[in-house]
Structure 1
Amino acid sequence: MLAPAAPPRLGLVIEFGSRARKLPAPPAVVWESLVDRSWLALLADETEPTVIAAEKPARVVWSSLWADRATDEIHFDLTPAADGGTLARFTLLTPGEAPDESKTGHLRRRLNQLLFADLRYSYGQ
């Protein structure tokens, strides 16, 4: 069983990326997907994230997907949408130095792909 949600384990943090878009599934289903991660297809430079915290159905926190950014965290906030879907927001946080502009773009683009394409397609849309 997952531990109840805790405040971010990071002390002073820098937010270096965030995006919100709609997913067709309701928040409880998206939450389960983020906790289960069976849909997650990782690239060679990525590692399986650990679920650090989870509060059903509104919040999930993952460890970093990238070994070279091991102290980063990915926070997911899930809000019900009027059409029965979910407004899903990811936020990239780090206790260290924010990556340069090129790396930041790569990490944000990759999370966009994972969440708003791969996860969306796992729901058949």
Structure 2
Amino acid sequence: MIEIGSKARKLPAPPPAVWDSLTHPRRPGARPWLNLLPDEVEPRVLEAEAPERVVWSSLWTHRPDDQIHLALTPVGTETSLRFTLLTPGEMPDQSQAGHLRRRLNVLLFADLRFSYGQ
């Protein structure tokens, strides 16, 4: 697998809450956060180990084999969340890779973060 990008940031919720959000993003009663663009699809959970690891399928129909690995680490009462975007295929061009990384940044470190009220 080739790494397209990786980034970690803290989220203001404990790992079990973040893990639940990542494995059940549309659960009843949850604040909506997985705001997909027209060229994106809902990820499938390929693997999950509560509350420290989740692997998503690709969000992009034109890159169906990509995977998003999500690692959760407790930091006090918060969670350090790291995404690593991997592909078994060819590395996308620089512009496309930047777009894919940016979308994960927005979804996880803006939309998901704000769903916790901060």
Q: What's the Cα RMSD here? A: 0.6
Aligned residue in 2 for 1:85: 78
Deviations 1:20-58 (Å, cap 9, x if unpaired)? 000000000000000011231111010011000000000
Indicate yes or no: 2:18 matched with 1:30: yes
Matched with 1:67 is 61
Q: Report the 3-state secondary structure (helix = DSSP H, G, I; strand = E; otherwise coil) of the residue aligned with 2:101.
A: helix
TM-score relative to the length of structure 2: 0.93
Question: TM-score, with normalisation over the residues of structure 1?
Answer: 0.88
Distance 2:104 2:85 in 1: 9
Any idea what SS the aligned residue of 1:112 has?
Answer: helix
Q: Which residue of 1 aligns with 2:40?
A: 46
CA distance in 1, matches of 2:61, 2:74: 33
Matched with 1:115 is 108
Q: How far is the alpha carbon of 1:16 from its aligned partner? A: 1.1
Give the whole-Å Cα distance in 1 for the aligned partners of 2:59 and 2:12: 24
Which runs of 5 or more residues in structure 2 are unaligned?
27-32
**Count of aligned pairs between the two proteins:** 112
Which SS does the other structure have where 2:62 is aligned?
A: helix
**Distance in 2 (alpha carbons) for counterparts of 1:74 and 1:98:** 14
State the Cα deviation string for residues 77-104 of structure 1 (Å, max 9, x = none): 000013x100000000000001110000
